Amino acid sequence: MGTQVNQLIRIVLMGTVLLLITLPSTLSAQTVAPAPAKILPQEDLADQAELYTGKEFKRAFANPKDDPNRPNVLLIGDSISIGYTIEVRKLLNDKADIFRVPTNGQYAAFGLENLDKWLGKKTKWDVIHFNWGLWDLCYRNPKSKTQGHRDKLNGTLTATPQQYRETMEQIVKRLKQTDAKLIWCATTPVPEHELGRKAGDALKYNAIAKEVMDANGITTNDLHAHALLKLPKIQVKKGDVHFTKTGYAYLAAKVAADVSKLLEPPMASPSDSHQQAPIAKP
């Protein structure tokens, strides 16, 4: 009887030891979940080349001193707009002061978040020329080794078409509160072999934006069609959405021409300029 008790005690003790040995690892497996993948903001995923904030573009951010006797024009957009800003200033030098937002406008949701700050409270804007799109339709993947972590195969789309539409509607609502003349700038083309963007998506997003603009009576500058006339000649390199210096000058000519139309006073109708002469009494 005593032998059986001793054996039972020995079995219990061995079981207890085994339980104490395996318990920590079991609890660790149950309580320590793998860390979720870190989702980086779009501006952190992009690199300096895509943001185009190098010293060669600093002059684009050097806004002029506000002349109260001249109209004020505000340019809003991504690196494409940074590229044509200086040339637009030159072309409209005799007509208006040309300002731009103090950074890369990036994607629409980023623009909406910063819009109040960019518009300011003191400056009266006569014309606002604005664009978002190339960042919105870009796919990015933190694990991608390509410039700007672009990855149209395994990356995440910055803004779905529906998200883009909803954000653009909010942006337009805010811009209309400025009482400025508004002009939407269509997103320039996405070439074949672009690593983070799909060729043809610019047309889809432009169509969405145009619907929003048409519903609000806003003019469209079709810079997409204008750029196509010279592509790929003005493309900085194969598969790149950016342009050569000559290309930016070409885009600037279209931007300046369309902005200039809105700076001109509306033409008076014949009924306004020529009043009917009074009928002589018999």
**Residue 25 pLDDT:** 46
Rounded-to-integer distance, Cα 205 and Cα 138, Å: 11
pLDDT digits 0-9 by tens, 8-24:
555 545 555 444 444 44
Residue 31 has pLDDT above 80, yes or no: no
**153-159 contacts, C-beta under 8 A, 24 or more apart:** 155/196, 158/42, 158/107, 159/107, 159/108, 159/109
**For residue 39, which of 158, 177, 205, 127 has the smallest C-alpha distance?**
158
∠ CA(50), CA(74), CA(47), 5° rounding? 10
Task: Look at residue 122 in the predicted model and tell me its pLDDT.
Answer: 81
Q: From CA 188, how far away is CA 80, in angstroms rounded? A: 8
Which residue has better confidence, 99 or 267? 99
| Single pTM value for the model | 0.78
- Measured torsion, CA atoms of residues 37, 41, 191, 74, in degrees rounded to the nearest 10: 170
Q: Say whether 244 sits in a helix, a strand or coil.
A: coil
The rounded distance, in Å, linking the Cα atoms of 46 and 28 is: 37
Which residues are 100's β-sheet partners?
75
Task: Answer whether 151's CB lies under 8 Å from 141's CB.
Answer: yes
Eight-state DSSP code of residue 243: B
pLDDT for 57 beyond 50: yes
- What's the sign of the alpha-carbon dihedral 43, 49, 50, 56? positive
CA-to-CA distance for 126 and 95, rounded, in angstroms?
12
Strand partners, 220: 184
Mean predicted lDDT score pLDDT of the chain: 83
Instruction: State the DSSP H helix or E strand holding residue 111, giving kind and residue range, or none if neither.
Output: helix 108-119
Q: What is the pLDDT of residue 192?
A: 93
The reported pLDDT for the residue numbered 35 is: 41
Q: Which of 2-16, 108-122, 134-148 has the lowest mean pLDDT?
A: 2-16
Of the candidates 52, 50, 110, 126, the one whose C-alpha atom is nearest the C-alpha of residue 83 is 52
Tokens representing 141 are 């993947």
Contact yes or no for 262/127 (Cβ under 8 A)? yes
| pLDDT 10s digits, 143-158 | 999 888 999 999 999 9
For residue 229, is pLDDT > 90? yes
Query: What domains can be seen in the chain, in order of their start residue?
Result: 42-260 (3.40.50.1110)
pLDDT of residue 49: 59
Highest mean pLDDT out of 7-16, 118-127, 219-228: 219-228
Q: DSSP code of 158?
A: S
| Cβ-contact 254, 183 below 8 angstroms | no
Q: Across residues 36-54, what is the average pLDDT?
A: 57
Confidence of residue 203 (pLDDT cuts 50, 70, 90): very high
Average the pLDDT over 255-281 and give the result: 66
CA 66 to chain CA mean position, Å:
26
Residue 148 pLDDT: 87
pLDDT value of residue 279: 37
pLDDT digits (tens, 9 = 90+) for 58-88: 688 888 888 899 999 999 999 999 999 999 9
The pLDDT, as a whole number, for residue 155 is 94
Q: Give the pLDDT mean for 1-13.
A: 52
Per-residue model confidence (pLDDT) at position 59: 81
Residue 2's pLDDT band, with cuts at 50, 70 and 90, is: low
Strands (E), the chain: 72-76, 97-100, 127-130, 139-140, 156-157, 181-185, 219-221
pLDDT for res 125: 97
